Amino acid sequence: MNTEKVVVIGSGPAGLTACIYAARANLNPLCFEGFNAGGLIPGGQLMFTTEVENYPGFPEGVTGPQMMKAFRDQADRFGTRFIRDDVSAVDFSRRPFIVKSPDESVEAHAVIIATGARANWLNLENEQRLAKIGGGVSACAVCDGAMPMYRDQELVVIGGGDSAIEEGVYLTKFAKKVYLIHRRDQLRAGKAMQERFFKHVEQGRMEPVWNSIVIDVLGDQSITGVRLKNVKTNEQRDLLCQGMFLAISHTPNTELFKDYLATDEKGYLKLARLGSTYTAVEGVFAAGDVADHVYRQAVTAAGSGCIAALDAERWLAERGIE
Ligand SMILES: Cc1cc2nc3c(=O)[nH]c(=O)nc-3n(C[C@H](O)[C@H](O)[C@H](O)COP(=O)(O)OP(=O)(O)OC[C@H]3O[C@@H](n4cnc5c(N)ncnc54)[C@H](O)[C@@H]3O)c2cc1C
């Protein structure tokens, strides 16, 4: 079995940035770039989006797949080796660690986990179709909310937690009005968030739609409305809107590591040192959305991928592995 200096698991912005930095530090990284684990594909979440308009360096915007191809080409240029497979098991109880996919098994002195998270969707047919064609359905208000198509329009946000309020309030900067659709008649969000929400409601910029779920998304080339069902009365009605934002949380891809690494109450990996990518297992580092339920942006994921490679490089050097 080969013993690698560093194995990177995942090929989104965090994983590929870690590969670029590790390769340039002569660590000869091996990247398991994934296949279809966690509903993702090589390149990560951005492979499912059309325009990325907030990543620095692309003043005209760039499509998600184009951007991730550029990340991968750069990692490849410096010598990253890729295995197009999902990691199916790890053993962090021995050293070197073991990382396995269905076809490969390698030993690794250091491992960088960058397996990301996936947005939770309602999984309605027209929701998925419109999200794919950039038809006004999104799982990230911060990423897409400033697009001209949403300006001065009526938008809906689905959810009742902190993220839903955060995203809804953010959208009020651009939208005419934001409806918050929640399946209960009380928010899950914390007190401070609720106060922000109700301030916007008083100002007429937001409006709650309680006890309601979306049962269909309307529109052909772009969304024209949502069909709602009141969960108490079963009554259905259509609410016209020009944009829908999902904020029903994300599922981090951490199942694989649960025997070795602690997660927070939402399932994200816990980091051992604030501001670093160290986990509680020395030599295992975590970068990107898999350990971040707060920021969840390509640029923050890439930044933490860089930190993870630097952390791994220093940790290996301290042990004479260079
Ligand atoms: C539709 C959509 C649009 C978005 N638009 C923007 C935007 O415009 N701007 C912005 O900044 N952010 C945007 N985001 C958020 C951004 O995509 C994420 O913050 C970023 O991709 C996180 O990067 P990551 O590397 O941590 O993980 P991910 O991109 O989630 O990548 C995870 C990687 O891990 C791999 N993987 C998972 N499990 C395994 C396994 N068992 N074995 C091997 N590999 C595995 C996957 O295949 C994937 O390659 C968007 C997100 C979505 C869903």
For residue 203, the one-letter residue type is Q
Of 204, 231, 246, which residue constitutes the final position of a domain? 246
Residue of 19, 50, 80, 140 best suited for mutating to test ligand 1, as the one with most atoms within 8 Å of CB: 140
Q: What is the pLDDT of residues 246-271, one digit of tens each?
A: 999 899 999 999 999 999 999 999 99
- State the chain's mean pLDDT as an integer: 95
* DSSP secondary structure code for residue 248 in this structure: S
In this predicted model, what pLDDT tens digit does every residue of 277-300 receive, in sequence order?
A: 999 999 999 999 999 998 999 999
pLDDT band at 38 (very low <50, low <70, confident <90, very high): confident
The predicted pLDDT at position 81 comes to 98
Distance 231 CA to ligand 1 centre (A): 33
Assign residue 194 the CATH number of its domain: 3.50.50.60
Q: What is the pLDDT of residues 68-86, one digit of tens each?
A: 999 999 999 999 999 999 9
Q: Is the CB of 75 under 6 A from ligand 1?
A: no
In this structure, the answer to whether residues 109 and 127 fall within a common structural domain is no
127 CB near ligand 1 (under 6 Å) = no
pLDDT digits (tens, 9 = 90+) for 125-160: 999 999 999 999 999 898 899 999 999 999 999 999
**125 and 240: one domain?**
yes
Interval between CA 51 and ligand 1 midpoint (Å): 14
State residue 143's pLDDT score.
Answer: 87
pLDDT higher than 80, residue 66 = yes
CB 178 within 8 A of CB 171: yes
Same domain, 188 and 259: no
pLDDT of residue 242: 98
Do 26 and 166 share a domain, yes or no? Answer: no
pLDDT digits (tens, 9 = 90+) for 172-223: 999 999 999 999 999 988 899 999 999 999 999 999 999 999 999 999 999 9
Question: Bigger pLDDT: 40 or 106?
Answer: 106
The backbone torsions φ and ψ at residue 317, rounded to the nearest 5 degrees and listed phi first, read -60, -40
Ligand 1 atom nearest 289 alpha carbon = 26
Based on the structure, what is the number of domains in the chain? 2
pLDDT score of 89 more than 80: yes
- Same-domain pairing of 242 and 255: no
User: Looking at the structure, do residues 46 and 86 belong to the same domain, yes or no?
Assistant: yes
Please, where are the H alpha helices in the chain?
Answer: 13-24, 64-77, 125-132, 141-144, 162-171, 191-202, 298-318
Write down which residue in 224, 246, 268 finishes a domain. 246
* Residue 219, ligand 1, Cβ within 6 A: no
Residue 291 three-state SS: helix
CA 130–ligand 1 middle distance (angstroms): 19
Please check whether residues 12 and 108 belong to one and the same domain. yes
Query: From atom 1 of ligand 1, which residue's Cα is the shortest distance away?
Result: 49
Pair 150, 169 in one domain? yes
Q: Per-residue confidence at 224, pLDDT binned at 50, 70, 90?
A: very high
Do residues 57 and 159 both lie within one domain?
no
One domain, residues 254 and 112: yes
Please check whether residues 125 and 227 belong to one and the same domain.
yes
Ligand 1 within 6 A of CB of 277: no
Termini Cα distance of the chain: 20
Question: Is 256 found in the same domain as 237?
Answer: no
pLDDT tier, 237 (very low <50, low <70, confident <90, very high otherwise): very high
For residue 134, the enclosing domain spans 121-246
Residue 306 has a pLDDT of 98
Last residue of a domain, one of 204, 228, 246: 246
Q: Does any ligand 1 atom lie closer than 6 A to the CB of residue 293?
A: no
Do you know the residue count of the chain? 322
Residue 242 burial (CB count, 10 A): 20
Q: Is 15 in the pocket of ligand 1 (CB under 6 A)?
A: yes
